[in-house]
Structure 1
């Protein structure tokens, strides 16, 4: 059932606000908008990339800081300021010649809804909007910005036998 779906995943699509962050935005006096990311999510994204899983980030928000953080993790497919996530996702699936059944999309709110319905494995953090929870095939026990992405990517990599393990390392 769901485990088989994790086995097929070749692409993971992530929203930013509410998925990679807790959805809160700190606005400074100068108008700069700051977000906080969880380092464990970052680690899992780097591990996924190392194993050949593609990570695409699609967000309605725009932030130079967010883009720098994601590029620093090795993510190349970053799309910010996207109003129509569904159309962009359809274009990416076509351009990268990926089967939609091999795509996992992690979203948390209404702007993600239509795009999530295109993929084989829609997923969400535990604090996602009710409409997103209703269409998700997997709901992480973690909240957005608090390890949900780590939980989901770790599941994908473990089920595919790609998660780093201390069992495989030999101590001298």
Structure 2
């Protein structure tokens, strides 16, 4: 397998993730009151928290609006959680300006068509292995994990290992 994508991982300072289909498996349980419930992988949570602790910018841009998702992510230390984002470029540009970022230093992981405009702008577009074909074609790295099954952990751990920062974070806790 070609591992040339790891060269790009050296320069990543910022992780941006979609939620549904990336941090979740894309399946929602619909309760009689209309509430939509998602499941998130605890190993992804550990890696997200480790990345925050290591000083990376970790941001979320999601079209979903579930406040439980916001609470979960904020409890991991993520400060930039954008929900209800239908044109993700708006929030992406806000993040660029807020942190004065170079797009080449940004890793974005998405799984479906609404993620494509941002993925076309970043230096390290990635996706889970069950992402739609169009996003797989845009990606420099396709995780061997599916959405909600550790794909965020996979890419965060790889970036941190390439940069020699993974072992420094073993005291992060699972929450």
For the aligned pair, the TM-score class normalised by the smaller chain equals over 0.9
Q: TM-score, normalised to structure 1's length?
A: 0.94
Per-residue deviation, 1:165: 6.7
**Structure 1: any 5+ residue segments left out of the alignment?**
167-172
Task: Select 1:54's aligned residue among 43, 52, 57.
Answer: 57
Task: Select 2:147's aligned residue among 129, 144, 148.
Answer: 144
Match of 2:71 in 1: 68
- Please give the residue correspondences for 1:2-151 in structure 2 after superposition, counting only pairs within 5 Å: 2-151=5-154
The CA distance in 2 between the partners of 1:133 and 1:147, in whole Å, is 17
**Structure 2: any 5+ residue segments left out of the alignment?**
170-175
Query: Matched residue of 1:8: which SS?
Result: coil
Per-residue deviation, 1:79: 0.2
Per-residue deviation, 1:80: 0.1
Please, what is the CA RMSD of the aligned residues?
1.2
> Rg: which structure is higher?
1
Deviation per CA, 1:88-145: give whole Å up to 9, x if none: 2122212210100000000000000011111000000000000000000000000000
Per-residue deviation, 1:7: 0.7
Per-residue deviation, 1:59: 0.2
Per-residue deviation, 1:77: 0.3
Q: TM-score, normalised to structure 2's length?
A: 0.92
The CA distance in 2 between the partners of 1:99 and 1:75, in whole Å, is 20
Match of 1:169 in 2: none
